[in-house]
Amino acid sequence: MTNIEQEQFRQRAVAEAMSQLIPNTNFQHFIGVLREQREVVIEDICRDDSIRDDRTTMALIGELRALKNIIGVYDEYRRREAI
């Protein structure tokens, strides 16, 4: 399985699990918290001490990517539901 196929598989698995959670208002609040956290991580990446430390930078980029993927799956599911 290629890296792209693995990423697509992971996103499908998250979307499938998420489909049961989306109607729950608590889950919608949770996604809001993830959106806020994404902004915090972006600010952290821009700090001078983060930029100087490669490990910190890479960890923050990994965290940002994970948040972006989860929020993206949620947004895509909501978009398809609206159509």
pLDDT in tens, 39-58: 999 999 999 999 999 999 99
Query: Between the CA of residue 11 and those of 43, 44, 45, 48, 69, what are the distances in Å?
Result: 26, 26, 25, 33, 8
Residue 32's pLDDT band, with cuts at 50, 70 and 90, is very high
Q: What is the pLDDT of residue 64?
A: 97
Query: Between the CA of residue 74 and those of 19, 22, 27, 54, 55, what are the distances in Å?
Result: 9, 8, 10, 30, 29
Nearest alpha-carbon partner for 72 in 4, 23, 5, 18: 18
Residue 31's pLDDT band, with cuts at 50, 70 and 90, is very high
Q: pTM of the prediction?
A: 0.80
Secondary structure element (H or E) that encloses residue 44, with its range: helix 25-45
